Amino acid sequence: MTSSEPRRVEHQQTDKGYVPVYTTAVVEQPWASYSRTDHQTWATLFERQRELLKGRACREFIVNQERFGMSPDAIPRFDDLNEVLAKATGWQLVGVEGLLPELVFFDHLANRRFPVTWWIRKPDQLDYLAEPDLFHDLFGHVPLLLEPVFADYMQAYGRGGVKAHGIGAEALVNLTRLYWYTVEFGLIRQDGGLRIYGSGIVSSKGESIYCLESPAPNRIGFDLRRIMRTRYRIDTYQKTYFVIDSFEQLMDATRPDFRPLYAELAAQPSIPAGDVLAGDSVHHRGTGEGWATDGDV
Ligand SMILES: C[C@H](O)[C@H](O)[C@H]1CNc2nc(N)[nH]c(=O)c2N1
Ligand SMILES: N[C@@H](Cc1ccccc1)C(=O)O
Ligand SMILES: [Fe+2]
């Protein structure tokens, strides 16, 4: 295989249109075959996001990213990152071609393996790309795998995914919303303001600013049931972000068995992405302080 292109196995018609399906196998990172352009793309995105995330990303993200010694000089080698991870939290990165079927993805997480897409976006996709690539996966997800509580949360999520998959499609939808509104698009309250920890935000220039500074989106205090009922958008910035107080709060709230919760939620309607409900704990401003209730935005 030449490694300038991901290995596309076939195409498949889905809800989201005609999408490429990749091999689900774990692959070696073809590091030697990254082009100068690939390394340059990494450098550009890395420098841009590091600068933008000062004072915007949470402390844990910044500090742990520095512990890896990632730099703009070259695309990191998974093997080097794995040495740091092995000592700290026992997580391991494995190379993949792209999005995996849910059960395969959950099984990796349940075993403390994080799948990282080995290829990086093209220069005309610096600001937006519809699927995860190396920059999103490595820059966005990997730093928090060094944070012990968050590392445990990711594994618990994988185990919960295997379980939800056995329960049914509705349970899986509820659980996927939890991943979306925490791991991918989560905000955390820190140092008297809001900070980013979601990977989908930290790897996006536009959304890193928008999620904290735009008056448009709702920022609502973490509420497990509310999150599991809330639909989400994959084609624009989020209409709603959920805010945790700490990673411990996230872990504690998600530790109980979800089976009774799935049964309870099956009888309830889903909530449109941008709605505010009576009883939501709404944060007034991205960088400011103070909480209101009853949809007082
Ligand atoms: C978590 C969520 O359910 C989502 O559907 C999964 C599916 N497969 C994936 N596969 C990869 N490689 N990376 C991902 O983030 C996901 N997300
Ligand atoms: N407690 C969840 C497992 C889980 C933990 C953390 C995040 C997500 C899911 C369950 O029973 O399914
Ligand atoms: Fe992601």
pLDDT of residue 284: 66
pLDDT of residue 2: 43
Q: How far is the CA of 198 from the centre of ligand 3 (A)?
A: 9
> Which of 257, 270, 99 is CA-nearest to residue 167?
257
* Beta pairing partners, 22: 8
Tokens of 253: 């709230």
> Which of 57, 35, 36, 61 is CA-nearest to residue 205?
57
pLDDT of residue 290: 39
Say how far apart CA 250 and CA 150 lie, in whole Å: 9
**Rg, Å, the chain Cα set:** 19
Pairing of strands 17-22, 8-14: antiparallel
Say how far apart CA 70 and CA 76 lie, in whole Å: 6
**What phi and psi, each to the nearest 5 degrees, are found at residue 54?**
-60, 125
Query: Longest Cα pair distance anywhere in the chain, in angstroms?
Result: 57
User: Edge-to-edge, what's the strand order for the sheet holding 240-244?
Assistant: 193-196, 187-190, 240-244, 218-221, 282-283, 291-292
Please report the atom of ligand 2 found closest to the CA of residue 258.
11
Fold classified for 27-292: Phenylalanine Hydroxylase (1.10.800)
From the list 60, 97, 184, 207, the catalytic residue is 184
Structure letter (DSSP) for residue 143: G
Which residues make Cβ contacts (< 8 Å) with residue 140, sequence separation at least 6? 199, 200, 202, 203
The residues spanned by each domain of the chain are 27-292
- Please choose from 163, 165, 225, 258 the residue to mutate so as to test ligand 2's pocket, defined by most ligand atoms within 8 A of CB: 258
At residue 244, the 3 state secondary structure works out as strand
Say how far apart CA 213 and CA 236 lie, in whole Å: 16
Please report the atom of ligand 1 found closest to the CA of residue 176.
3
Say how far apart CA 64 and CA 273 lie, in whole Å: 31
Where do the H-state alpha helices sit in the chain? 36-53, 59-67, 78-88, 102-110, 134, 148-167, 169-179, 199-202, 205-213, 224-229, 247-254, 259-265
**Considering Cα of 225, then 164, then 147, then 185, what sign does the dihedral take?**
negative
Residue ranges of the binding site for Fe cation: 136, 141, 184
270 is catalytic: no
Report which protein residue has its CA nearest ligand 2's atom 3.
160
Which residues make Cβ contacts (< 8 Å) with residue 2, sequence separation at least 6? 33
pLDDT by residue, tens only, the chain of 297 residues: 445 567 776 666 777 677 776 778 899 999 999 999 999 999 999 999 999 999 999 999 999 999 999 999 999 999 999 999 999 999 999 999 998 999 999 999 999 999 999 999 999 999 998 889 999 999 999 999 999 999 999 999 999 999 999 999 999 999 999 999 999 999 999 999 999 999 999 999 999 999 999 999 999 999 999 999 999 999 899 999 999 999 999 999 999 999 999 999 999 999 999 999 999 999 865 444 434 333 322
Question: Tokens 């890395």 appear where?
Answer: 46
Ligand 2 contact via 254 beta carbon (within 6 Å): yes
Say how far apart CA 145 and CA 92 lie, in whole Å: 9
pLDDT of residue 288: 42
Ligand 1 contact via 99 beta carbon (within 6 Å): yes
203 is catalytic: yes
11 is catalytic: no
Say how far apart CA 276 and CA 47 lie, in whole Å: 36
pLDDT of residue 285: 57
From the list 60, 97, 136, 199, the catalytic residue is 136
From the list 203, 204, 207, 283, the catalytic residue is 203
